[in-house]
Amino acid sequence: MITHYRSKTMSSQISQAPAISPVSIRERTGSISTADIISVLKGETTALHMKQAFSTEVAEEITTNFSGSTGLKERKDGVPGQYVGASHYRKDAATYFAEAENARPYVDALFKNLVDPVRAIFGALKRELDNQGIELRLARSEHGQANVCRAISWSGSGTFSLDPHDDVAQVLRAGDGYELSSVAQNTVAALNFYPSMPEEGGNLRLWSHKPTVADRIAQGVETTGYPYSAAYLEGLPCREFELKAGDIALIDGGFVHGVTGQTGNGKRRLVLNSFFGFARPDLVLWWT
Ligand SMILES: O=C(O)CCC(=O)C(=O)O
Ligand SMILES: [Fe+2]
Protein backbone atom coordinates (compact mmCIF):
# COMPACT_ATOMS: atom_id res chain seq x y z
CA MET A 1 0.00 0.00 0.00
CA ILE A 2 2.70 2.43 1.00
CA THR A 3 4.71 1.50 -2.06
CA HIS A 4 1.76 2.21 -4.28
CA TYR A 5 1.10 5.57 -2.63
CA ARG A 6 4.72 6.60 -2.94
CA SER A 7 5.13 5.72 -6.59
CA LYS A 8 2.03 7.78 -7.32
CA THR A 9 3.05 10.86 -5.37
CA MET A 10 6.56 10.82 -6.76
CA SER A 11 5.60 10.05 -10.32
CA SER A 12 7.23 13.24 -11.59
CA GLN A 13 10.61 11.80 -10.61
CA ILE A 14 12.03 8.57 -11.91
CA SER A 15 11.52 6.94 -8.60
CA GLN A 16 10.95 3.51 -7.28
CA ALA A 17 10.26 2.42 -3.76
CA PRO A 18 13.53 1.24 -2.21
CA ALA A 19 14.03 -2.51 -2.29
CA ILE A 20 13.56 -4.40 0.96
CA SER A 21 16.75 -6.29 1.78
CA PRO A 22 16.36 -9.25 4.13
CA VAL A 23 18.09 -8.89 7.50
CA SER A 24 19.41 -11.42 9.95
CA ILE A 25 19.55 -9.95 13.44
CA ARG A 26 20.87 -11.39 16.68
CA GLU A 27 20.70 -10.09 20.22
CA ARG A 28 22.58 -11.73 23.08
CA THR A 29 24.07 -11.02 26.48
CA GLY A 30 27.76 -11.55 27.22
CA SER A 31 31.00 -11.37 25.35
CA ILE A 32 31.33 -11.18 21.61
CA SER A 33 33.26 -13.96 19.85
CA THR A 34 35.41 -13.96 16.76
CA ALA A 35 32.82 -16.28 15.16
CA ASP A 36 30.19 -13.53 15.69
CA ILE A 37 32.45 -11.00 14.02
CA ILE A 38 33.34 -13.23 11.09
CA SER A 39 29.64 -13.95 10.56
CA VAL A 40 29.03 -10.22 10.00
CA LEU A 41 32.19 -9.88 7.89
CA LYS A 42 30.91 -12.62 5.60
CA GLY A 43 27.46 -11.05 5.33
CA GLU A 44 25.71 -13.93 7.12
CA THR A 45 24.57 -11.74 10.02
CA THR A 46 23.29 -8.21 9.37
CA ALA A 47 23.42 -6.97 12.94
CA LEU A 48 24.46 -8.29 16.30
CA HIS A 49 23.57 -6.56 19.56
CA MET A 50 25.68 -7.82 22.46
CA LYS A 51 24.34 -6.66 25.81
CA GLN A 52 26.72 -6.20 28.75
CA ALA A 53 29.65 -6.98 26.48
CA PHE A 54 32.23 -4.95 28.40
CA SER A 55 32.50 -3.78 31.98
CA THR A 56 30.68 -0.72 33.25
CA GLU A 57 33.81 0.39 35.15
CA VAL A 58 35.76 0.45 31.90
CA ALA A 59 32.81 2.20 30.22
CA GLU A 60 32.74 4.91 32.90
CA GLU A 61 36.46 5.52 32.79
CA ILE A 62 36.46 5.88 28.99
CA THR A 63 33.55 8.32 29.27
CA THR A 64 35.36 10.41 31.90
CA ASN A 65 38.51 10.42 29.75
CA PHE A 66 36.52 11.48 26.69
CA SER A 67 34.86 14.39 28.51
CA GLY A 68 38.19 15.62 29.86
CA SER A 69 40.16 15.04 26.66
CA THR A 70 42.21 17.93 25.31
CA GLY A 71 41.86 16.27 21.90
CA LEU A 72 38.06 16.68 21.88
CA LYS A 73 36.86 18.47 18.73
CA GLU A 74 33.67 19.60 17.04
CA ARG A 75 32.96 17.95 13.68
CA LYS A 76 32.95 20.45 10.81
CA ASP A 77 32.03 18.14 7.94
CA GLY A 78 28.25 18.51 8.08
CA VAL A 79 27.67 15.67 10.56
CA PRO A 80 26.99 17.19 14.00
CA GLY A 81 29.04 15.68 16.79
CA GLN A 82 32.04 15.96 19.09
CA TYR A 83 34.87 13.51 18.64
CA VAL A 84 38.31 12.27 19.57
CA GLY A 85 40.18 10.56 16.72
CA ALA A 86 39.86 10.80 12.95
CA SER A 87 37.13 10.07 10.38
CA HIS A 88 38.01 9.30 6.77
CA TYR A 89 34.56 10.54 5.71
CA ARG A 90 34.89 13.20 2.95
CA LYS A 91 38.66 13.44 3.44
CA ASP A 92 41.46 12.65 1.04
CA ALA A 93 43.91 10.00 2.18
CA ALA A 94 46.71 12.47 3.02
CA THR A 95 44.43 14.48 5.32
CA TYR A 96 42.85 11.46 6.98
CA PHE A 97 46.07 9.61 7.76
CA ALA A 98 47.77 12.79 8.99
CA GLU A 99 44.80 13.43 11.30
CA ALA A 100 44.87 9.84 12.50
CA GLU A 101 48.57 10.18 13.38
CA ASN A 102 47.97 13.49 15.20
CA ALA A 103 44.99 12.11 17.10
CA ARG A 104 46.64 8.84 18.19
CA PRO A 105 47.89 10.07 21.59
CA TYR A 106 44.36 11.33 22.39
CA VAL A 107 42.73 8.07 21.28
CA ASP A 108 45.23 6.11 23.38
CA ALA A 109 44.57 8.41 26.34
CA LEU A 110 40.87 7.47 26.31
CA PHE A 111 41.96 4.07 27.62
CA LYS A 112 44.84 5.25 29.82
CA ASN A 113 45.93 2.16 31.76
CA LEU A 114 42.77 0.16 31.02
CA VAL A 115 42.75 -3.03 29.01
CA ASP A 116 41.28 -1.45 25.89
CA PRO A 117 38.22 -3.51 24.85
CA VAL A 118 38.45 -2.40 21.20
CA ARG A 119 42.07 -3.47 20.92
CA ALA A 120 41.18 -6.74 22.65
CA ILE A 121 38.67 -7.55 19.91
CA PHE A 122 41.09 -6.46 17.20
CA GLY A 123 43.74 -8.77 18.73
CA ALA A 124 41.40 -11.76 19.05
CA LEU A 125 40.15 -11.35 15.49
CA LYS A 126 43.71 -10.99 14.23
CA ARG A 127 44.71 -14.29 15.86
CA GLU A 128 41.68 -16.12 14.48
CA LEU A 129 42.10 -14.75 10.95
CA ASP A 130 45.85 -15.52 11.07
CA ASN A 131 44.92 -19.16 11.68
CA GLN A 132 42.85 -19.02 8.52
CA GLY A 133 45.70 -17.50 6.50
CA ILE A 134 44.04 -14.07 6.44
CA GLU A 135 45.90 -10.95 7.51
CA LEU A 136 44.13 -8.32 9.65
CA ARG A 137 45.74 -4.90 9.96
CA LEU A 138 45.03 -1.20 10.24
CA ALA A 139 44.64 0.65 6.94
CA ARG A 140 47.73 2.70 6.09
CA SER A 141 49.35 4.89 3.47
CA GLU A 142 52.58 6.80 3.04
CA HIS A 143 51.01 9.44 5.31
CA GLY A 144 50.38 7.19 8.28
CA GLN A 145 48.14 4.56 9.75
CA ALA A 146 44.53 4.44 10.96
CA ASN A 147 43.69 4.26 14.66
CA VAL A 148 41.88 1.32 16.18
CA CYS A 149 38.80 3.48 16.89
CA ARG A 150 37.37 6.98 17.15
CA ALA A 151 35.09 8.22 19.93
CA ILE A 152 32.02 10.26 19.02
CA SER A 153 29.12 11.90 20.76
CA TRP A 154 26.47 12.69 18.13
CA SER A 155 24.72 15.99 18.62
CA GLY A 156 22.09 16.25 15.90
CA SER A 157 18.77 17.53 17.22
CA GLY A 158 15.32 16.25 16.35
CA THR A 159 14.25 12.78 15.27
CA PHE A 160 17.84 11.62 14.88
CA SER A 161 21.06 12.56 16.63
CA LEU A 162 22.82 10.90 13.69
CA ASP A 163 20.79 10.94 10.49
CA PRO A 164 20.08 7.75 8.52
CA HIS A 165 23.04 6.81 6.32
CA ASP A 166 25.07 3.91 5.01
CA ASP A 167 28.79 3.41 5.65
CA VAL A 168 29.62 2.06 2.19
CA ALA A 169 29.40 5.18 -0.01
CA GLN A 170 32.24 6.87 1.87
CA VAL A 171 34.36 3.74 1.35
CA LEU A 172 33.45 3.22 -2.30
CA ARG A 173 34.24 6.87 -3.05
CA ALA A 174 37.20 7.19 -0.69
CA GLY A 175 39.47 8.32 -3.52
CA ASP A 176 43.13 8.04 -4.43
CA GLY A 177 45.67 6.91 -1.91
CA TYR A 178 43.21 4.77 0.04
CA GLU A 179 43.72 1.03 0.00
CA LEU A 180 40.31 0.45 1.56
CA SER A 181 38.09 1.30 -1.45
CA SER A 182 37.97 -2.36 -2.49
CA VAL A 183 36.31 -3.26 0.83
CA ALA A 184 33.15 -1.60 -0.52
CA GLN A 185 32.71 -4.60 -2.83
CA ASN A 186 32.38 -6.76 0.30
CA THR A 187 30.73 -6.21 3.68
CA VAL A 188 31.78 -3.00 5.43
CA ALA A 189 31.38 -4.03 9.06
CA ALA A 190 30.87 -1.30 11.66
CA LEU A 191 31.83 -2.09 15.24
CA ASN A 192 30.31 0.15 17.91
CA PHE A 193 31.09 0.12 21.63
CA TYR A 194 28.83 2.17 23.89
CA PRO A 195 30.62 3.51 26.98
CA SER A 196 27.77 5.90 27.83
CA MET A 197 24.07 6.07 26.92
CA PRO A 198 21.34 8.59 27.76
CA GLU A 199 18.30 7.53 29.78
CA GLU A 200 16.03 7.98 26.78
CA GLY A 201 16.69 7.53 23.08
CA GLY A 202 20.01 7.23 21.32
CA ASN A 203 18.88 3.89 19.91
CA LEU A 204 20.48 2.46 16.81
CA ARG A 205 17.82 2.06 14.12
CA LEU A 206 18.48 -0.21 11.16
CA TRP A 207 16.33 -0.28 8.04
CA SER A 208 15.85 -3.39 5.86
CA HIS A 209 17.48 -1.67 2.93
CA LYS A 210 20.92 -1.86 1.39
CA PRO A 211 21.16 0.99 -1.12
CA THR A 212 22.76 0.45 -4.50
CA VAL A 213 24.88 3.04 -6.29
CA ALA A 214 21.79 3.88 -8.37
CA ASP A 215 19.76 4.42 -5.17
CA ARG A 216 22.42 6.78 -3.84
CA ILE A 217 22.59 8.75 -7.05
CA ALA A 218 18.79 9.08 -7.06
CA GLN A 219 18.90 10.32 -3.46
CA GLY A 220 21.77 12.76 -4.09
CA VAL A 221 24.06 10.94 -1.64
CA GLU A 222 26.33 9.15 -4.09
CA THR A 223 29.63 10.00 -2.41
CA THR A 224 28.48 10.36 1.21
CA GLY A 225 25.67 7.85 1.80
CA TYR A 226 24.32 10.55 4.13
CA PRO A 227 21.62 11.53 4.86
CA TYR A 228 18.67 9.51 3.57
CA SER A 229 15.40 11.40 3.86
CA ALA A 230 12.42 10.32 5.93
CA ALA A 231 10.36 10.19 2.73
CA TYR A 232 12.78 7.72 1.16
CA LEU A 233 12.76 5.42 4.19
CA GLU A 234 9.04 5.63 4.87
CA GLY A 235 7.42 2.26 4.50
CA LEU A 236 10.63 0.26 4.88
CA PRO A 237 10.68 -2.16 7.82
CA CYS A 238 13.17 -1.18 10.51
CA ARG A 239 14.53 -2.50 13.80
CA GLU A 240 15.74 -0.53 16.78
CA PHE A 241 18.41 -1.58 19.24
CA GLU A 242 17.90 -0.25 22.75
CA LEU A 243 21.47 0.19 23.80
CA LYS A 244 22.88 0.48 27.31
CA ALA A 245 26.34 1.45 28.49
CA GLY A 246 28.57 -1.60 28.12
CA ASP A 247 26.81 -2.89 24.98
CA ILE A 248 28.32 -3.55 21.57
CA ALA A 249 26.54 -3.31 18.23
CA LEU A 250 28.15 -4.86 15.19
CA ILE A 251 26.39 -4.19 11.91
CA ASP A 252 26.70 -4.56 8.18
CA GLY A 253 27.22 -0.86 7.45
CA GLY A 254 25.75 -1.26 3.97
CA PHE A 255 22.26 -1.23 5.50
CA VAL A 256 20.79 2.19 6.22
CA HIS A 257 21.08 3.04 9.91
CA GLY A 258 20.86 6.05 12.19
CA VAL A 259 20.74 7.07 15.83
CA THR A 260 17.46 8.25 17.33
CA GLY A 261 17.16 11.55 19.16
CA GLN A 262 18.10 11.82 22.80
CA THR A 263 15.98 13.43 25.44
CA GLY A 264 16.80 14.76 28.87
CA ASN A 265 20.03 16.40 29.89
CA GLY A 266 21.51 13.54 31.83
CA LYS A 267 24.25 11.32 30.50
CA ARG A 268 25.51 11.91 27.02
CA ARG A 269 25.76 9.19 24.43
CA LEU A 270 29.26 8.04 23.54
CA VAL A 271 30.23 5.55 20.86
CA LEU A 272 33.62 4.04 20.01
CA ASN A 273 33.40 3.24 16.33
CA SER A 274 35.55 1.44 13.79
CA PHE A 275 35.07 -0.12 10.36
CA PHE A 276 36.59 -3.23 8.85
CA GLY A 277 36.16 -5.59 5.93
CA PHE A 278 37.79 -7.80 3.34
CA ALA A 279 39.96 -5.86 0.89
CA ARG A 280 41.11 -9.16 -0.64
CA PRO A 281 40.33 -12.78 0.23
CA ASP A 282 43.55 -12.83 2.30
CA LEU A 283 43.38 -9.32 3.78
CA VAL A 284 40.99 -7.61 6.19
CA LEU A 285 41.53 -3.88 6.74
CA TRP A 286 40.45 -1.89 9.81
CA TRP A 287 40.02 1.90 9.94
CA THR A 288 37.86 4.71 11.26
O1 LIG B 1 26.58 5.72 17.06
C2 LIG B 1 26.09 4.73 16.54
O3 LIG B 1 25.37 3.94 17.17
C4 LIG B 1 26.30 4.46 15.07
C5 LIG B 1 27.48 5.18 14.49
C6 LIG B 1 27.53 5.13 13.00
O7 LIG B 1 26.63 4.69 12.34
C8 LIG B 1 28.71 5.63 12.28
O9 LIG B 1 29.64 6.14 12.93
O10 LIG B 1 28.75 5.52 11.04
FE1 LIG C 1 27.22 4.40 10.32
Q: How far apart are CA 28 and CA 12, in angstroms?
A: 45
The pLDDT of residue 182 is 93
**How much is the average pLDDT of 190-194?**
98
Nearest ligand, measured from the Cα of 274:
1
**How much is the average pLDDT of 169-197?**
94
> Please, what is the average pLDDT of the chain?
93
Asked if residue 273 has its Cβ within 6 Å of ligand 1, the reply is: yes
pLDDT-wise least confident of 3-17, 26-40, 217-231: 3-17
Q: Indicate if the pLDDT at residue 171 is higher than 70.
A: yes
Q: How far away, in angstroms, is 271 Cα from ligand 1 center?
A: 7
Asked if residue 170 has its Cβ within 6 Å of ligand 1, the reply is: no
Q: How far apart are CA 230 and CA 239, in angstroms?
A: 15
pLDDT-wise least confident of 6-20, 32-46, 98-112, 119-133: 6-20
Q: How far away, in angstroms, is 12 Cα from ligand 1 center?
A: 34
The pLDDT of residue 237 is 97
Asked if residue 257 has its Cβ within 6 Å of ligand 1, the reply is: yes
Asked if residue 271 has its Cβ within 6 Å of ligand 1, the reply is: yes
Nearest ligand, measured from the Cα of 271:
1
Neighbours of ion ligand 2 (CB under 5 A): 167
The pLDDT of residue 16 is 73
Tens digit of each residue's pLDDT (9 = 90 or more) over 88-111:
998 999 999 999 999 999 999 999
**How much is the average pLDDT of 7-35?**
80
Asked if residue 204 has its Cβ within 6 Å of ligand 1, the reply is: yes
Tens digit of each residue's pLDDT (9 = 90 or more) over 230-273:
999 999 999 999 999 999 999 999 999 999 999 877 899 999 99
Burial annotation 98-125 (CB, 10 A radius, 16+ → b, else e) = bbbeebbebbeebbeeeebbbeebbeeb
Atom of ligand 1 nearest to the CA of 257: 7
**How much is the average pLDDT of 5-33?**
76
Asked if residue 167 has its Cβ within 6 Å of ligand 1, the reply is: yes
Considering the domain 23-287 in this protein, what is its CATH number?
Answer: 2.60.120.620
The pLDDT of residue 5 is 37
| DSSP codes joined into one string, the chain | -HHHHHHHHTTTS---PPPPPP--EEEEES---HHHHHHHHTTS-SEEEEET-S-HHHHHHHHHHHHT-TT-EE--SSS-EEEES---TT--HHHHHHHHHHHHHHHHHHHTTS--HHHHHHHHHHHHHHHTT-EEEE-EETTEE--S-EEEEE---SSEEEEEE-SSHHHHT--TT-S-GGGGGS--EEEEEEEE--SEE--EEEES----HHHHHHHT-TTT--PPPHHHHTTS-EEEE---TTEEEEEETTS-EEEE-EESSSSPPEEEEEEEEEEETTEEEEE-
Contact 9, 27 (CB under 8 A): no
Q: How far away, in angstroms, is 222 Cα from ligand 2 center?
A: 15
